[in-house]
Structure 1
Amino acid sequence: MNDVSLNPVEKKVARMLSPFEKFIESQTSTGLLLAGATCLAMVFANSDMNRMYREVILTDVGLLVGSSQFTMSLEEWVGSGFMALFFFLLGLELKRECLAGEMQNPRQIGIVLSAALGGMVLPALIYYLTNLDSGYQQGWAIAMATDTAFALGALAFFARKVSRELFVFLTGLAIFDDLGAITVIAVYYTESLHLEALLRAGAVLVLLIGMNISGVRAAWAYFILGLVLWMFVHESGVHATVAGVLVALTIPARPSLQSGRFVQRVRKLISKFERRQESENEVLSDQKQSGLMLNIEEVARQASTPLQRWETKLENPIALVVLPVFALCSAGIRLSDQDLGSVLSSFVSLGIIGGLVVGKPLGIFLFSKAAVKLGLGSLPEGMGNKELLGVGLLAGMGFTMSIFIAMLAFKGQPLLIEEAKLAILISTFLSGLLGILWLALATRNRIDSN
């Protein structure tokens, strides 16, 4: 039976959609959307729409059941709920990298972990020392973070001139950075603990681990228990986003159908499908053909792991919706309320800018070279000192996670939060600009690697 070709209208639509699909799949799309959402938030905050913008993000939303209620402002829902999905994806990525990714190689882990450690310790130290006499030392973790989307989006401009290993190195670095940030959020920024809620959260976590061990792979089961865990973690005093990572670590990473059996079953189903094709029936009118295709799809699903499937399905929604929405709700800084001179000269801002723009690349560079010297690891192939410094500069684009930590560090101090946000925006811009310019110079004579 001949393949049915697309009609002229379908071909035109396909050609129209192709650029959008390529944009969505590209590394730069998330960074561009984040930048767009940030600019939009700034427009809202610095125009006549500011009052409406503030009213919307501060509107209480939640559930009311009789005399009981569970409500938070829209801004808090985005920070605690939407961002829990982002942390869930980070947890999935971390688990996959440790079980089957580049992080399996001890030498690769050694160099990436050393770089990440340097990129956290030195920026935090610069911030802390800068703020010794300011009384705002609690913001030391702001300068630790790396915004994976912005950093990879900027590096993607050089995708044809740098090796794939640079992307792997920066991704691993960002994952360990995020793991450090998660640990800090769970330990340092937990104001008070409610033991009963914490014990309930622990019981739900044990149940999730038991489901993994017993081979349960139903998405709805993990979703429901994950939601319950999120609520208990939120009530316990630990930041609710930590629940996202905990749930991710319990997601099964084993297929229910091994590769040998998968090949046998698929071959058998394809053979049956080919015999049905001889009847010249269309799939739409042949229920058996349609059933065979569904069976092939189910066998393929069984041969993959829930961890891989859910990570793939969540990548675009989180990159294209969750992170831009967080930026839209969090990055609206009213510049008329800020004295740029005093902001830039304040200890908080100097600590953040110094930590991200100077401390990040310097810490990553020095700790990486020390790791090589001590035999703890080696730089990836195609990565020299120039590329290492370029990656370090791009890692200083803290944005999303830095803003997130600033909102926790200065909770209840709106003026300080706004000041920190502005410093983070400046740092992200400077780090990105310096990183792009440095890599452009470092690769200017390099032939397209593809």
Structure 2
Amino acid sequence: MKVKSLIPFLIGGAIMWYFMLNSGVHATITGVLLAFVIPFGDGSKDSISYKLQHFLHKPVAFIILPIFALANTAIVLGSDIVATLSLHYSMGIMLGLVVGKPLGIALFSFLAVSIGLCKLPNDLNWKTIISVGFLGGIGFTMSIFVTLLAFDDQHIINNAKFIILLSSLTAGIIGFMLLKQNLKKKQ
């Protein structure tokens, strides 16, 4: 695409957002679809994608995501916390954040290095990548967002939020401990 201006994408995105909102499809899907069509070009500082990414980075990272996280983590703790841990969706969330995220990050990194897509820096080892992979399990903001899209029942949403918070905390602690141990050995 030879479009050099962001304006057509913003106009098209606003129209698509309006129709998505009124169709019953979650309007945030518009942002996902829009991301696929905004040209990246050669990745230079002149590309539309680069300019948009750098323009949105600070407001999203420091205003929108923290507000979203605070607004969506209102967790009501009931007396059935132990029972919540054994629910099938609880197990899926825990395995996804504590096992799936680190495994996915480590396997994709290994695959990328194996096929020559990238090179592992000399001062980085696989234990460090696995440790940082566990830190990837902290991402509770997107997990809560997906929960709100996936479930309608407020009781299930509340339980899922608790499990997400617990799993994120667990993954964070494991990642911190492994990283601390691994970095101590390097020194």
* Aligned CA distance change for structure 1 residues 379 and 396 (closer, same or farther; 3 Å): farther
Tell me how large the CA RMSD over aligned residues is: 2.8
Match of 2:61 in 1: 319
Match of 2:115 in 1: 376
Tell me the CA shift for residue 310 of structure 1. 1.9
Match of 2:20 in 1: 233
Q: Which has the larger displacement, 428-437 or 220-229?
A: 220-229
Task: Give the one of 213, 219, 223 matched to 2:10.
Answer: 223
Query: How far apart, CA to CA, are the structure 2 residues paired with 1:231 and 1:365?
Result: 39
For residues 35-434 of structure 1, the aligned pairs below 5 Å read: 213=2, 215-217=3-5, 219-253=6-40, 304-335=46-77, 337-366=78-107, 368-369=109-110, 371=111, 375-377=114-116, 380-381=120-121, 382-411=123-152, 413-434=153-174
Runs of 5+ consecutive residues of structure 2 not aligned to the other structure:
none
SS of the residue aligned with 1:304? Answer: coil
Task: Give the one of 171, 180, 185 matched to 1:440.
Answer: 180
Structure showing greater relative contact order (alpha-carbon pairs closer than 8 Å, 6 or more residues apart): 1
Runs of 5+ consecutive residues of structure 1 not aligned to the other structure:
1-211, 260-302
- Paired residues of 2:39 and 2:47 also in contact (CA < 8 A): yes
Tell me the CA shift for residue 440 of structure 1. 0.9
Tell me the CA shift for residue 445 of structure 1. 4.3
Tell me the CA shift for residue 340 of structure 1. 1.7
Match of 1:11 in 2: none
Tell me the CA shift for residue 306 of structure 1. 2.8
Tell me the CA shift for residue 320 of structure 1. 1.1
Aligned positions, number:
184
Tell me the CA shift for residue 332 of structure 1. 0.4
TM-score normalised over the length of structure 2: 0.82
Amino acid at match of 2:54: T
Amino acid at match of 1:438: L
TM-score normalised over the length of structure 1: 0.37
Query: How far apart, CA to CA, are the structure 2 residues paired with 1:385 and 1:416?
Result: 37
- Paired residues of 2:38 and 2:48 also in contact (CA < 8 A): yes
Tell me the CA shift for residue 372 of structure 1. 7.2
Give the structure with higher Rg (CA): 1
The ranges of structure 1 where at least 4 consecutive aligned residues each deviate by more than 6 angstroms after the TM superposition are: none
* Aligned CA distance change for structure 1 residues 422 and 438 (closer, same or farther; 3 Å): same
Query: How far apart, CA to CA, are the structure 2 residues paired with 1:317 and 1:367?
Result: 30
Query: How far apart, CA to CA, are the structure 2 residues paired with 1:397 and 1:445?
Result: 24
Query: How far apart, CA to CA, are the structure 1 residues paired with 2:158 and 2:186?
Result: 42
Report Cα offsets for 1:292-320 as digits up to 9, x if no partner. xxxxxxxxxxx833322221111000111
Tell me the CA shift for residue 236 of structure 1. 3.7
* Aligned CA distance change for structure 1 residues 229 and 367 (closer, same or farther; 3 Å): closer
Tell me the CA shift for residue 366 of structure 1. 4.9
Tell me the CA shift for residue 390 of structure 1. 0.6
- Paired residues of 2:140 and 2:165 also in contact (CA < 8 A): yes
Tell me the CA shift for residue 220 of structure 1. 4.3
SS of the residue aligned with 1:240? Answer: coil
Tell me the CA shift for residue 430 of structure 1. 1.0
Match of 1:100 in 2: none
* Aligned CA distance change for structure 1 residues 416 and 389 (closer, same or farther; 3 Å): same
Query: How far apart, CA to CA, are the structure 1 residues paired with 2:127 and 2:107?
Result: 13
Query: How far apart, CA to CA, are the structure 2 residues paired with 1:379 and 1:349?
Result: 37
Amino acid at match of 1:418: N
Report Cα offsets for 1:163-213 as digits up to 9, x if no partner. xxxxxxxxxxxxxxxxxxxxxxxxxxxxxxxxxxxxxxxxxxxxxxxxx53
SS of the residue aligned with 2:184? Answer: coil
